[in-house]
């Protein structure tokens, strides 16, 4: 995990606070409804932050960047893993979405890398969808870059992520999808496949490409 300091969230450290979104709660409609976004941001994300601050209060780990803690998360209390992951994952997630776009596709250097490492966009979409749908219970699907600059698709349970030492496949996330029911239940109920398919229209490929290019 050589490049962890490059990630924009590396400055997250101590006294964690709810980040502002760069768009309105209704900006992602009709893919994600405003009520879901508001509850997800002000209640779920806020709860991870409150519980993370509580878990780190008086703990020596409080003085280290959150992303550094992920590299030794197996040695820290479960509350730091669950709520630290929850805070980072959501902070990250908000940035990789935007208002719906028709024919929303990656381009440029990122597109070339998807072609090279994953066999093209359709293969990527298939693998990402599979990762999201086969994650039993709650978790996340990810597109990440490994230490050699190669893209890979994976999923993690609960609020784990590929930056953590417990991850099966470690790397630096450039795209993530929350597949906890709280992320989609109001609009999609049990239809996780429809949620995952619709998500493709709101991926902020500019943001994903920017993250990718900073890591290679």
Enumerate binding residues for Mn ion (CB under 5 A): 178, 180, 183
Q: How far is the CB of 140 from Mn ion (least distance, A)?
A: 9
Q: How far is the CB of 182 from Mn ion (least distance, A)?
A: 5
Nearer to Mn ion, 142 or 180 (CB): 180
Q: How far is the CB of 185 from Mn ion (least distance, A)?
A: 11
Residue nearest to Mn ion (CB): 178
3-state secondary structure of 59: coil
Nearer to Mn ion, 160 or 178 (CB): 178
Nearer to Mn ion, 145 or 183 (CB): 183
User: Long-range contacts of range 37-45, CB-CB < 8 Å, 24 or more positions apart?
Assistant: 39/182, 39/186, 40/90, 40/178, 40/182, 40/183, 41/90, 41/94, 42/18, 44/86, 44/90, 44/182, 45/18, 45/86, 45/87, 45/90, 45/91
Q: How far is the CB of 89 from Mn ion (least distance, A)?
A: 7
How many Cβ atoms sit within 10 Å of the Cβ of residue 139?
22
Nearer to Mn ion, 31 or 183 (CB): 183
């Amino acid at each position: 995990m050589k490049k962890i300091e490059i990630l924009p969230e590396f400055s997250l450290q101590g006294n964690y606070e709810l980040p502002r979104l760069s768009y309105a709660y209704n900006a992602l409609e009709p893919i994600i409804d405003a009520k879901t976004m508001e509850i997800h941001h002000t209640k779920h994300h806020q709860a991870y932050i409150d519980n993370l601050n509580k878990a780190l209060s008086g703990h020596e780990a409080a003085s280290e960047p959150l992303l550094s803690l992920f590299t030794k998360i197996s040695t820290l209390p479960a509350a730091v893993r669950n709520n630290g992951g929850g805070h980072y994952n959501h902070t990250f997630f908000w940035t990789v979405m935007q208002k719906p776009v028709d024919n929303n596709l990656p381009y440029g250097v990122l597109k070339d890398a998807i072609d090279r490492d994953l066999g093209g966009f359709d293969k990527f979409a298939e693998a990402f969808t599979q990762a999201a749908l086969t994650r039993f219970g709650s978790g996340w699907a990810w597109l990440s870059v490994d230490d050699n600059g190669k893209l890979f698709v994976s999923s993690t349970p609960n609020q784990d992520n590929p930056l953590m030492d417990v991850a099966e496949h470690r790397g630096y996330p450039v795209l993530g999808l929350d597949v906890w029911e709280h992320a989609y239940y109001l609009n999609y109920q049990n239809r996780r496949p429809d949620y995952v398919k619709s998500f493709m229209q709101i991926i902020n490929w500019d943001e994903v490409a920017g993250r990718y290019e900073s890591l290679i």
